[in-house]
């Protein structure tokens, strides 16, 4: 029997329609070098870019994926991982990204909002542990953090004149 672990996510990737990395976060040392990570991503893309399925077993890993226009979203877990959990993370990632990009889920829009998408991924998964899979909660947190980083609001500031 395999011991249960909170570390359910091995990686989250968003690739373009050429299989090139746009966003990739690997949470353990399954692929310790960038070269190995990119090789795995290329292999994953080659196996999935023409397929109609939503799940694939590759290199002993369970990979769930979804594509839209020119983006491919992947969530990767161990071979023993529950596919429904991985799909819930994938759906959350996709829905949040779609909302951040205002339903314009394509490469150019992703680059325009890259910081928010990275922040959303960090709110969904931390170190391989799923923190949240509810898109509305993630969107609220990302919006709050985005407001914190925006320009200061001076309309309520009192300016003293002497």
Torsional sign, CA 20, 92, 121, 84:
negative
**CATH number of the structural domain spanning residue 90:** 3.30.450.60
pLDDT at residue number 147: 53
112, part of any domain: yes
Any domain includes 69: yes
pLDDT at 155: 47
Catalogue the long-range contacts made by 32-41 (C-beta closer than 8 Å, 24 or more residues apart): 37/11, 41/13, 41/15
Query: pTM for the full model?
Result: 0.85
Beta pairing partners, 68? 71
Q: If you count them, how many residues does the chain have?
A: 162
Q: Does any domain span residue 32? A: yes
Range of the domain at 85: 11-149
User: pLDDT tens for residues 35-72?
Assistant: 999 999 999 999 998 887 899 999 899 999 999 888 99
H or E, element range at 15:
strand 11-16
- Residue 157, domain member (yes or no): no
- DSSP letter (8 states) at residue 7: B
Residues β-bridged to residue 74 = 13, 65
Tell me, yes or no, whether 159 lies in a domain. Answer: no
Does residue 113 lie in a domain region? yes
Q: Is residue 158 part of a domain?
A: no
Task: Evaluate whether residue 26 is within a structural domain.
Answer: yes
| Domain count of the fold of the chain | 1
């Amino acid at each position: 029997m395999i011991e249960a672990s909170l570390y359910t996510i091995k990686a989250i990737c968003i690739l373009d329609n050429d299989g090139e990395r746009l966003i990739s976060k690997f949470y353990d040392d399954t692929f310790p070098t960038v070269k190995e990570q990119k090789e795995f991503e290329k292999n994953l893309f080659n196996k999935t870019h023409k397929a109609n399925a939503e799940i694939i077993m590759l290199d002993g890993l369970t990979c769930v994926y979804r594509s839209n226009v020119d983006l491919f979203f992947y969530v990767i877990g161990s071979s023993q991982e529950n596919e429904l959990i991985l799909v819930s993370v994938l759906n959350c990632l996709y829905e949040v990204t779609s909302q951040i990009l205002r339903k314009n889920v394509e490469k150019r829009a992703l680059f325009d909002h890259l910081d928010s998408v990275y922040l959303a991924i960090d709110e969904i998964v931390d170190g391989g542990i799923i923190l949240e899979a509810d898109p509305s909660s993630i969107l609220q947190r990302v919006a709050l953090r985005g407001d914190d980083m925006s320009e200061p609001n001076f309309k309520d500031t009192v300016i003293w004149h002497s």
